[in-house]
A and B are shown apart, each in its own frame.
Chain A
Amino acid sequence: MGNKTPTDQVIDFFASVKLALTLLIILAIASIAGTFVPQTLSPGEALQRYGPQLTSFFYYLDLFDMYHSWWFNILLGFLLLNLIVCSFNRFPKTLKLARTVSGERVKPGFLKKQPFSFQILRPGSPQDNLAPVREEIKRGFSKPREKATTWGILLLTQKGAFSRFGAYVIHSSLIFILIGSLIGHYRGFNAFLNLAEGQTTNQVILKNSGEIALPFEVRLDRFHLKRYPSGAPSEYRSDLTIIENNRVVRKASVKVNHPFTYRGVTFYQHSYDSLPADGWGLRLIRKTDNKAFDLQVTPNRPNMLPDRSGTFLVLDYAQDLGRSGPAVRLLVRMNKTKDYAVWVFKNPFQLINYNPRYRTGLQANKDPGIWFIWTGFGLMLAGCLITFFFSHQKLYLGLIPEGNNTRVIIGGSAHRNQGSFKIKFDKLTEILNSNPSESKDLKT
């Protein structure tokens, strides 16, 4: 103990479970802190809420973007180093434990020292006494290895050795997730784009800052907003067209929960708004001759009537006025009559179509590391199942001739889940306890 080199001491430090427990708890506490300090405060809001001194202290510790701060990443780094060093440190020992002890060194005393152990003196030769338990051993474990030793016959068998490696699978899954998140961070991007109906762009705004150009263009053909009878939104859908080298290469619809990926860039439906500033497409029908006029209506500014008989101004608009559908309230100023305001359903004009020009808000993300993440998730679940549902069970059976009788000793161990092992072990002892004459019958 006393003569460890400094290198050994460093390795011991990083391999210790104490470090792992400490880091897990510190990470938990730090994560909690981050849920109580708002993570998206502007400097102004922060100053107002916490005062100048506390704010500069919080900024110093990156508390407003805590989960990406240098110290949080160092903690994560330590945890990873910890589990890597610990895994390498323990692996040779696990490998050794996963094997059954080789026959040479096993003596009857070793069998008696096992956590589960039982012995009985039965009439007959060792081979006679092997018969009744062989099948049961085969069923509960695997085909036993038989070894002739100086003191008698030894049978060795084991089951579920792989379960000793569950922890390594879980630890490696975390490494996969780390690699995936690093790839995502350095080689991917998170961006937004807002597209009005009919608009085309290849520019997306990065979440952090700046803009990048996609290697293709996206056009929003239409945005659909579906509603439940209650009026609550039921579906947002953007119909997109992908244009590459001035050629339409793909058409796709993006809905919430149904993203669309093209050349590694995935588009997600994120938000929408309508664009009253640009006006609406409005179709007016003149009652006298049913002639239709399609107009682009600009609010806040007088619009000329199509036949130049006057002007009108949009005062208000409603998606569903008095449950009679959409309506626009116009102030109409005719050349000959007095000004009047009207909700347009009838009268000289008819609102045929209420088509606000929608603008969709899309996220455009690229994450080449995602498959590392998915692999990590799969490994983690597999590792958990291996660790918690399986155990490594070993069983030794010794047959020692004593005159006309045979001393049968069984010893066994399970590295987890002793209960299920005990059931199997008890079954074997029950067979051995039962009437020995059965084994004689078997011989004839």
Chain B
Amino acid sequence: MTFDSSFLLSIVTFAYLAASLAYICLLVFKTKFFGPAGTVLTLITLAAHTGAIIWRWVESYQLGIGHAPFSNLYESLIFFAWAITFLYQIMERIYKNHVIGAFVMPLAFLSLAYAGLQPKEIHPLVPALKSNWLIAHVITCFLAYAGFAVSAGLALILLLPRGRESISNLASRLPATGTLDSLIYQNIAFGFILLTAGIITGSIWAQQAWGSYWSWDPKETWSLVTWLVYAAVLHARMVKGWAGKRMAVMSLIGFASVLFTYFGVNLILSGLHSYAT
């Protein structure tokens, strides 16, 4: 086995698993040490992860088919995991709460683990993907997905039954419901802006590549569905004052739509976005 970016990424995958376990240990055993340990491990791994993405970019140029590493499912999963970790670390810096990591970092690990099952070769870009919009479109979409993923992780924490004996011990270490609620909202708002930007960049690109800014392609339609769901969630919160458990449930419904947009469309429906499989 040669030491290339894919190999580094498989190490990164296991490092994220270790970081996730550290955060989970913090939650379960209360030992303070695990919090900073998880953070340090995550930050080092994030640096390696960033390096690996750049390395893969360089490798593609060495093959003479240079392009940004955002062109297939393997590469998008890697960036998805990166975006989740990046977003979570920003949140941890601001709110100084390590426990949330137990619910968010496993998502980054799962994304990379799933990436590990995909073919890893670097292929030249098909003509339709040769565009400067590729980078803008993929980055905005996946930062949006990451925001929604983090909000779904937070929603899970909020929905834990706190009253029960077995959990109440854990609950003492979980962030207050009010904090969770505002974090869920902020991540959804972040995701919504970026999803809007992602759909817009995609739309401009589609106009250039396919001659139509909107074709009701399944991927497009599902991104619109996701957008509509979160638009409804935001209206319900801003005008009707929805909060707490209701927001958490809506956040999970929204994330289910994100997952279908990302994976379901490629697995079940066929369309113009089929190179993302």
Contact = CB atoms under 8 A, between A and B. Distances in A.
Contacts of B222: 31-32, 35
B196 interface: yes
B259 to A, nearest CB: 14
A39 interface: yes
Nearest to B224: A31
B124 A24 contact: no
B269 A255 contact: no
A67 interface: yes
A119 B61 CA distance: 65
Nearest to B192: A384
A17 B239 contact: yes
Interface in A330-376: 363, 365, 370, 373-374
A257 B209 contact: yes
Contact of A20 (B127, B235, B265): B235
A80 interface: no
B225 interface: yes
Given A17-B235, A256-B128, A384-B193, A28 B209 contact: no
B193 A385 contact: yes
Interface in B223-250: 224-225, 228-229, 231-232, 235-236, 238-240
Most A-side CB within 10 Å, residue of B211, B238, B257: B211
Nearest to A26: B228
Nearest to A167: B238
B177 interface: no
A235 interface: yes
A228 interface: yes
A258 B130 CA distance: 10
A311 interface: no
Nearest to A388: B189
Interface in A12-66: 17, 20-21, 24-25, 27-28, 31-32, 34-36, 39
Given A35-B269, A266-B211, A377 B216 contact: no
B236 A34 contact: no
A270 B232 contact: no
Contacts of A234: 124-125, 127
B182 interface: yes
Contact of B211 (A235, A255, A363): A363
Contacts of B238: 167
A54 to B, nearest CB: 20
A381 interface: yes
B208 A24 contact: no
Contacts of A67: 216, 221
Contacts of A230: 124
Interface in A206-258: 228-230, 232-236, 255-258
Nearest to B127: A256
Interface residues of B, number: 47
A381 B196 contact: yes
Contacts of A92: none
A228 B65 contact: yes
A381 B197 contact: yes
B197 A21 contact: no
Which residue of A17, A230, A233, A256 has the most chain B CB atoms within 10 A of its CB atom? A256
Interface string B254-277: 000100000001000100000000
A365 B131 contact: no
B244 to A, nearest CB: 16
Nearest to A180: B213
B235 A24 contact: yes
B65 A257 contact: no
Nearest to B207: A370
Contacts of B229: 24-25, 28
Contacts of B221: 31-32, 34-35, 67
A217 to B, nearest CB: 20
A255 B128 CA distance: 9
Nearest to B125: A234
B232 to A, nearest CB: 4
B212 interface: yes
Given A17-B235, A35-B269, A256-B209, A28 B124 contact: no
A229 B124 CA distance: 10
A269 B64 CA distance: 25
A232 B228 contact: no
B210 interface: yes
Interface in A257-296: 257-259, 266, 268-270
B182 A232 contact: no
7 contacts: A17-B239, A24-B228, A27-B228, A167-B238, A181-B214, A266-B211, A373-B213
The 8 lowest CB-CB distance pairs between A and B, nearest first, are A268-B211, A256-B127, A24-B232, A28-B228, A257-B131, A363-B211, A228-B124, A35-B218
Interface of B: 64-65, 123-128, 130-131, 182, 189-190, 192-193, 196-197, 200, 203-205, 207-214, 216, 218, 221-222, 224-225, 228-229, 231-232, 235-236, 238-240, 257, 265, 269
